Structure 1
Amino acid sequence: MNRPFFYAAPLLAVVLFLLAPLADAHAAGSVLAVYNSGQAQVTESRVVTLPQGAAAVVFTDIPTTIDASSIRATAPDMTVEDIQYAYKPITAGNLLDAYLGKELSVILPDPSDANARILRKAKLLANADRPIFAMGKEVYVGSYEALLLPEMPKGLDAEPTLTLTTRSSVAGRKNVALSYLMGGLSWSADYNLTVTQSGKAADLDAWATVDNRSDHAFSGADLRLVAGDVQRAAAPKMLMRANAVMAEGMAMDSAPAPASEEAFSQYHVYDPGRYVSIPASGSKQVGLFSSANIPVKTELSSRFRSTPNQRAGKISQSVESALLITNTKENNLGKPMPAGIVRVFMPDSGGTKLLAGEAHIGHVAEGEDVRLVIGRSFDVNVERVQTSFQRIGKNAAEVGWRITVRNGSAESKDIKLMDAMSGQWTVLNADTPYMAKDAGTIEFDLKGVAPSAGKEGKVINYTVRFEY
């Protein structure tokens, strides 16, 4: 896909050289690859005018969350001899560190009047966990109202600077390709799954939410979204400013413009196919894909862990409500689904789409099943009572259970009961068919449990022997 070449607004970038006059510099677009893991790779073009020979190229408009060890710069007929990244922000701690061993003015509470303040001259002795002052022959460790510094100390930076020491064989304007890794940028998928009135199909809209907490804006970036878990070596923690996120909300009924997708190594890369601007502190939603008329199934299930212990009284079990989807082309889907949140909407009797629940999913490859647990059933409940307990020898016990399933709705319901067993176990008897799901679980698959309407409901009795 061809994109038009464009120039961004001029940067505060200066080219300071050793043997030639001052020249201009500005930026010309960027490629931004954002990863799920909270990092991004930036590749941008910075246009400079260089003299022949040595020069020091100083760039500003650099992210504070940059990984300085990853910075690389190239240009035709130019070599880079060294790269220097400098940023010591103006903070209270850094200001005080600059005045260690020096005298400042300290505003203190007046010990003789709780409502009054006094101004004292003091020498700053230390600034580790808190400032410590020398006032004459006394050392003061305590609270203070404010500190007055005589002037702004040198060596603190309002913004980061990147300095390239370059050597050019030919003078003139050059496109310097600048690339680096940075923190504070991440993305995740957000899905809207809207179930039809029949409850047997749904439409899926997938969005990518790019979250920027780096305080560095990107205007008209050529965006790439990399889905997958990329391994990186442990590194010193980068500075990150945790600002509030300002999300651009999308209407539930608005379908996203599709992004192109391709496999990359063991990951997937999404390209929106257009330039995207991302605020310095906020989020931007970008369309990934839409799929219509996806078959869905509703599953009610209840889980319990059975142990060789004696239990008394009734035990209530929650009943999960889940939607099941198979990610295949035959089901009108068949797309890699990056990790994120799926919000499920269902229509009421009047057709109004209401939130029925939401669930987190991991990365879902094509062909895999998706199980979305969206809540608990209001009408169906499961209760059990231990009907017998007998210790058999030192390391064995037989336990009997009665499980009662009640359906308070007006329609018959299917429900799966899954009992996880501990240790070595054998089902001695059961009045309802079951299947062994695995080495530690049995499942009762109950079809068409009729409405209870005051009746006892569906009852299951079984006995299991544990050996441990």
Structure 2
Amino acid sequence: MRKLLLGATLTISTLATFLVICSLLPRTAAGQHVNLNQGTHSAQQSPSVAASTTASSTTSLGDQTDLSLTVYSDLALVRDVRDVTLPPGDFRLKFMDVAASMNPATVHFRSLTDPGRLSVLEQNYEYDLLDPQKLLAKYVGRDLKVMWGPTEVTATLLADNNGPVWKIGNEIVAGFNPGVMHFPELPPNLYDRPTLLWTLENSGPQRQQVEASYLATRLAWSADYVLTANRDETVADLDGWVTLTNNSGTGFHNAQLQLVAGELNRAVPPQRAFKELEAMRDQVAAATPAPFQQEAFSEYHLYTLGRRTSVLNNESKQVSLLDASSIPLTKTYEVNGQQYYYRSAQRPGAPLKDPVQMYYKFKNDEKANLGMPLPAGTVRIYQSDSRGNVLFAGEDRIDHTPKDEEVRLHVGNAFDVVAERKQTDFKTIANQLYEMEYEITLRNHKTTPVTVEVNEPIGGDWEMLNSTFKWTKTAAFAAQFVVPVERDGTSVLRYRVRVRW
């Protein structure tokens, strides 16, 4: 009996002690006990939760502090500098408003504030741009609110191959246009404009200045010139214009514009090409007063606009390149013979007519008020008539022309100067030795005398036996004759050659 009483007493005492200890434990607001390991569990999130809470930052044109555009013949180097706020650690940076025609392999990103403490872990170029068809394709397998006749219903988009296929209620429907469709949200992998996405690691300051550089196509420039000759065709004025075309998919606002003239070799991997172009950009000096300052670097010429300009998307812009006046001008007439004259005739016994080509020539030097390397381009030629009106006279294209070189422009063919030729003799002197004689008649119907350069191709091992006008051997297989023709007059060039084949 005593043992039973003693055991009951100990049990009651133990239970009371347990109740007292429990009353001293902390409670939650809901009356539940706090897990002693709660702090540890709250700090350890699942990978999916951690990924969804990764920090991110977005930058657009509003953050841009500097922009430079170096345009080559068919591509451009873009340098975009922005002030951005970057979270510490790993995060994603959405860099918006880049050219849609960019080459992602040429992108170069760096911090100008603290380069050693901001590194790129991953880079993506997002060019899947938002439009109604792509938006619809992203909702395959999901529900949408569509107009089914006059009624708005919930429909499931089953497929979107050559047209949408819907499930509305218990029916499969195709071939109808639902008109207005309501999308609950924008898919995360569709963008309203081309965007670069970087995964970065930042151990530096939050506020930094960053630079993104890349190559983009569909940006090009060309040079156009206007040459206006006076009535006597002895002097001319030359105006040069740069035409810049932007179809890259984005606009460039308040940019420092530079143009590169020359033949750029691009037969190298894209990354190497970008590094070479970056090195070229680093050699560029600061801009000077408008319109353009030119300088030589490597085997190219660089033209820097002395002010900032904006180039909108799908826009052509013209900027003045040069303005020169009172350039001494030389006018020449040329007749260029062709090899087939020695082997055929259209009408036996009748002369063949040659076009008499008219050229303007001038020297690209300081004495002629020029001396600036001229980029390749089209020269349109104008001349004043007797009333002082300027009329279009012709056009030609020039190659890249350094200073102190001659510019030669084919204006057109002379109307009032006529050239006819025929072969008047052919003899076999010995084995593979021949003599040939030609006659070229020049008639001038102008009111002023002219001088015509006649350039004759002569094959084989040749020797000039005689000529009615002075001649010069201009190449191994060519001779040139200078023939003056009086106004309303005629001059006849006869020459005889001995040729060994």
Shorter-chain TM range is 0.7 to 0.9
**Counterpart AA for 1:279:** L
**Structure with greater strand share of residues:** 1
Q: Is the 8 A contact 2:57 2:93 kept in 1?
A: no
Aligned to 1:346: 383
Aligned to 1:290: 323
Moved runs in structure 1, 4+ residues, more than 6 A? 90-100, 121-125, 145-154
**Counterpart AA for 2:81:** S
Aligned to 2:122: 82
Relative to structure 1, the CA distance from residue 402 to residue 222 in structure 2 (aligned partners, 3 Å threshold; closer, same or farther) is: same
Which range is displaced more, 169-178 or 53-62? 169-178
User: Counterparts of 2:71 and 2:231 in 1: how far apart (Å)?
Assistant: 38
* Identity within the alignment, %: 33
Matched, 1:333 2:373: no
Alignment of 1:163-182 (within 5 A): 163-182=197-216
Give 1:458 shift.
0.9
**Counterpart AA for 2:486:** A
User: Counterparts of 1:289 and 1:302 in 2: how far apart (Å)?
Assistant: 33
Q: Is the 8 A contact 1:221 1:275 kept in 2?
A: yes
The one-character-per-residue Cα deviations of 1:170-227 (angstroms, maximum 9, x if unpaired) are 3422221111111111112111111123321111111111122223211111111111
The one of 275, 287, 309 aligned to 2:343: 309
User: Counterparts of 1:304 and 1:360 in 2: how far apart (Å)?
Assistant: 22
User: Counterparts of 1:146 and 1:345 in 2: how far apart (Å)?
Assistant: 61
Aligned partner of residue 214 in structure 1, secondary structure: coil
Aligned partner of residue 272 in structure 1, secondary structure: strand
The one-character-per-residue Cα deviations of 1:16-71 (angstroms, maximum 9, x if unpaired) are 99555767653233100011x20100101122211111110012212111011111
Q: Is the 8 A contact 1:17 1:57 kept in 2?
A: no
Aligned to 1:248: none
Aligned to 1:446: 483
Matched, 1:62 2:102: no
Give 1:401 shift.
1.2
TM-score normalized by structure 1? 0.75
Q: Is the 8 A contact 2:55 2:92 kept in 1?
A: no
Q: Is the 8 A contact 2:58 2:96 kept in 1?
A: no
Matched, 1:265 2:298: yes
User: Counterparts of 1:436 and 1:99 in 2: how far apart (Å)?
Assistant: 78
Relative to structure 1, the CA distance from residue 21 to residue 270 in structure 2 (aligned partners, 3 Å threshold; closer, same or farther) is: closer
Matched, 1:400 2:437: yes
User: Counterparts of 1:221 and 1:301 in 2: how far apart (Å)?
Assistant: 47
Alignment of 1:296-445 (within 5 A): 296-306=329-339, 308-309=342-343, 311=345, 312=348, 313-393=350-430, 395-445=432-482
Relative to structure 1, the CA distance from residue 223 to residue 406 in structure 2 (aligned partners, 3 Å threshold; closer, same or farther) is: same
**Counterpart AA for 2:310:** S
Q: Is the 8 A contact 1:49 1:174 kept in 2?
A: yes
Relative to structure 1, the CA distance from residue 219 to residue 170 in structure 2 (aligned partners, 3 Å threshold; closer, same or farther) is: same
Relative to structure 1, the CA distance from residue 166 to residue 376 in structure 2 (aligned partners, 3 Å threshold; closer, same or farther) is: same
**Structure with greater helix share of residues:** 2
The one-character-per-residue Cα deviations of 1:111-154 (angstroms, maximum 9, x if unpaired) are xxxxxxxxxx99999xxxxx79xxxxxxxxxxxx9999999997
Relative to structure 1, the CA distance from residue 168 to residue 206 in structure 2 (aligned partners, 3 Å threshold; closer, same or farther) is: same
**Counterpart AA for 2:96:** T
Q: Is the 8 A contact 2:353 2:419 kept in 1?
A: yes
**Counterpart AA for 1:349:** S
Relative to structure 1, the CA distance from residue 180 to residue 464 in structure 2 (aligned partners, 3 Å threshold; closer, same or farther) is: same
Give 1:443 shift.
0.9
Aligned partner of residue 66 in structure 1, secondary structure: coil
Unaligned runs of 5+ in 1: 1-15, 101-120, 126-130, 133-144, 237-255
Aligned partner of residue 330 in structure 1, secondary structure: helix
Give 1:399 shift.
2.2
Relative to structure 1, the CA distance from residue 69 to residue 18 in structure 2 (aligned partners, 3 Å threshold; closer, same or farther) is: farther
Q: Is the 8 A contact 1:409 1:451 kept in 2?
A: yes
**Counterpart AA for 1:273:** G
User: Counterparts of 2:177 and 2:404 in 1: how far apart (Å)?
Assistant: 64
Give 1:411 shift.
1.0
Aligned to 1:224: 258
User: Counterparts of 2:478 and 2:304 in 1: how far apart (Å)?
Assistant: 44
Relative to structure 1, the CA distance from residue 23 to residue 59 in structure 2 (aligned partners, 3 Å threshold; closer, same or farther) is: closer
User: Counterparts of 1:415 and 1:347 in 2: how far apart (Å)?
Assistant: 24
Relative to structure 1, the CA distance from residue 22 to residue 218 in structure 2 (aligned partners, 3 Å threshold; closer, same or farther) is: closer
Which range is displaced more, 213-222 or 413-422? 213-222
Q: Is the 8 A contact 2:58 2:93 kept in 1?
A: no
Aligned partner of residue 293 in structure 1, secondary structure: strand
**Counterpart AA for 1:65:** S
Q: Is the 8 A contact 1:434 1:444 kept in 2?
A: yes
Q: Is the 8 A contact 2:254 2:308 kept in 1?
A: yes
**Counterpart AA for 1:314:** P
User: Counterparts of 2:81 and 2:466 in 1: how far apart (Å)?
Assistant: 74
Q: Is the 8 A contact 1:310 1:389 kept in 2?
A: no
Aligned to 2:77: 41
Aligned to 1:211: 245
**Counterpart AA for 1:298:** K
Aligned partner of residue 106 in structure 2, secondary structure: strand
The one-character-per-residue Cα deviations of 1:357-415 (angstroms, maximum 9, x if unpaired) are 11101110011111011111111110011212234455343322111101111111111
Which protein shows a greater Rg? 2
Alignment of 1:78-117 (within 5 A): 78-88=118-128
Give 1:89 shift.
5.2
The one of 214, 224, 228 aligned to 1:194: 228
